[in-house]
């Protein structure tokens, strides 16, 4: 602390730079940007109140992560896990059988790249891919926490145990169970081969053009055979190119559509507008030179988080 610096000023200077990565950490834990923002605020409030007792035995970053982690664990004890439709039941193939929106289900949310920790966006399995965040929500809270601290943040077993109040041996066994369960939930999570940047741009440009023109034949050439389409807060989802194309053919030709590129969860995406009104945020998963999955979050207010207007 400098001669003219007050303790509160020093705290802001030292703790402030970690806000985005703490938000990313809480989002991984909770699957909700809004909940993560609330927990980051709580973390900073707790840390500020106890800053006078901070003796520097751990780094400021580690200290804040410990507070945030335990705040998230407390929140998880009081709430259910957040899900995507594929985590609730099997797919359907008839667009006429879609179940209405269910706002009572705690749905997983996307996070805009502009909000997230830049280091996490390019960190592969340790990043923010939507499939990983969805899989993490299926782990028990303690397993989820240990996996994130050990495999994502690269904390030692001793550091993790100290933060959670358990032994290093317990950390090792919990981590093994978490890894095994995560592999069962999504065994291909490490195997996503994305195209090169020029191929990616070309693929997304062709998708935008075909989607806006409701060109079903062109969309068929862009989707993988096992493509998946989800639309939270609608519990129904579609699996397989043919089923997805039946959905798109039933839906796209009824509206005037525009797609605006965004980035979410370190993946390409689009804000979708119907007749000029915000309608959804699509998060797109690419595999090779094709589209393997689209998760279209049918929540118009999400465009606010991407700095876009509700109406074009």
CA 228 to chain centroid: 17
- Is residue 249 pLDDT above 80, yes or no? yes
Query: Which of 28, 61, 79 is the last residue before a domain boundary?
Result: 79
Express each pLDDT in 142-157 by its tens digit.
Answer: 999 999 999 988 899 9
The answer to whether residue 105 sits within a structural domain is no
The answer to whether residue 103 sits within a structural domain is no
- What is the sign of the dihedral through the CA atoms of 125, 129, 132 and 133? positive
> Which pLDDT does position 176 carry in this prediction?
96
Whether 294 contacts 284, CB under 8 Å? yes
273: how many CB neighbours lie within 10 A of its CB?
24
**Cα dihedral 139, 83, 122, 22 in deg (nearest 10):** -70
The answer to whether residue 148 sits within a structural domain is no
Confidence band (pLDDT; 50, 70, 90) for 19?
very high
> Which pLDDT does position 107 carry in this prediction?
96
The answer to whether residue 221 sits within a structural domain is yes
Average pLDDT, the chain: 90
Confidence band (pLDDT; 50, 70, 90) for 183?
confident
> Which pLDDT does position 125 carry in this prediction?
47
- What is the sign of the dihedral through the CA atoms of 79, 82, 87 and 88? positive
The segment with the largest mean pLDDT, out of 7-11, 97-101, 300-304, is 300-304
**Contacts of residue 312, Cβ cutoff 8 Å, sequence gap at least 6:** 258, 260, 273, 276
Strands, DSSP E only, in the chain? 223-231, 234-239, 257-264, 267-274, 277-287, 290-297
17: how many CB neighbours lie within 10 A of its CB?
11
Express each pLDDT in 260-274 by its tens digit.
Answer: 999 999 999 999 999
- Is residue 123 pLDDT above 70, yes or no? no
Whether 128 contacts 120, CB under 8 Å? yes
What span, in angstroms and rounded, lies between the C-alpha atoms of 96 and 10?
A: 59
What span, in angstroms and rounded, lies between the C-alpha atoms of 258 and 135?
A: 31
The answer to whether residue 127 sits within a structural domain is no
The answer to whether residue 121 sits within a structural domain is no
Residue 73 half-sphere exposure toward CB, CA atoms < 13 A: 17
**Would you report the helix, strand and coil content of the chain in percent, each value rounded to 5?**
50, 20, 30
Confidence band (pLDDT; 50, 70, 90) for 288?
confident
How many folded domains does the chain comprise? 2
SS3 for 255-270 is CCEEEEEEEECCEEEE
> Which pLDDT does position 122 carry in this prediction?
63
Phi then psi for residue 288, to 5 deg, are 60, -125
The answer to whether residue 294 sits within a structural domain is yes
The answer to whether residue 241 sits within a structural domain is yes
Residue range of the domain that includes 213 = 197-306
Residue 207's CATH number:
3.10.450.50
Query: Which of 44, 59, 79 is the last residue before a domain boundary?
Result: 79
Confidence band (pLDDT; 50, 70, 90) for 191?
low
Whether 269 contacts 261, CB under 8 Å? yes
Query: Which of 79, 97, 114 is the last residue before a domain boundary?
Result: 79
CA 223 to chain centroid: 22
- Is residue 81 pLDDT above 60, yes or no? yes
Q: Is 193 exposed, middle or buried (0-12, 13-18, 19+ CB in 10 A)?
A: exposed
């Amino acid at each position: 602390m400098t001669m003219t610096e007050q303790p509160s000023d020093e705290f802001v200077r030292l703790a402030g730079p970690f806000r985005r990565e703490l938000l990313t950490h809480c989002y991984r834990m909770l699957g909700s940007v809004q909940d993560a923002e609330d927990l980051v605020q709580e973390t900073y409030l707790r840390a500020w109140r106890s800053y006078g007792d901070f003796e520097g035995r751990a780094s400021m970053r580690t200290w804040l992560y410990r507070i945030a982690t335990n705040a998230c664990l407390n929140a998880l004890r009081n709430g259910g896990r957040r899900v995507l439709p594929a985590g609730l039941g099997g797919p359907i193939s008839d667009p006429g059988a879609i179940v209405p929106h269910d706002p009572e289900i705690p749905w997983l949310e996307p996070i805009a790249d502009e909000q997230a920790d830049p280091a996490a966006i390019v960190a592969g399995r340790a990043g923010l891919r939507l499939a990983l965040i969805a899989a993490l929500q299926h782990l028990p809270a303690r397993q989820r926490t240990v996996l994130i601290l050990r495999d994502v943040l690269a904390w030692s077993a001793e550091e993790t145990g100290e933060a959670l109040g358990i032994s290093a041996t317990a950390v090792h066994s919990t981590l093994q169970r978490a890894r095994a369960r995560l592999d069962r939930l999504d065994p291909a999570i490490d195997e996503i081969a994305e195209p090169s940047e020029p191929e990616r741009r070309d693929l997304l440009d062709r998708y935008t053009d075909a989607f806006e023109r409701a060109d079903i034949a062109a969309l068929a050439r862009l989707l993988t055979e096992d493509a998946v389409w989800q639309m939270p807060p609608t519990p129904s989802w579609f699996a397989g190119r043919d089923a997805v194309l039946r959905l798109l053919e039933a839906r796209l030709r009824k509206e005037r559509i525009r797609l605006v590129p965004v980035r979410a969860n370190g993946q390409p995406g689009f804000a979708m507008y119907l007749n000029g009104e915000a309608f959804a945020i699509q998060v797109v998963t690419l595999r090779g030179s094709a589209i393997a999955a689209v998760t279209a979050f049918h929540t118009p207010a999400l465009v606010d988080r991407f700095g876009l207007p509700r109406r074009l």
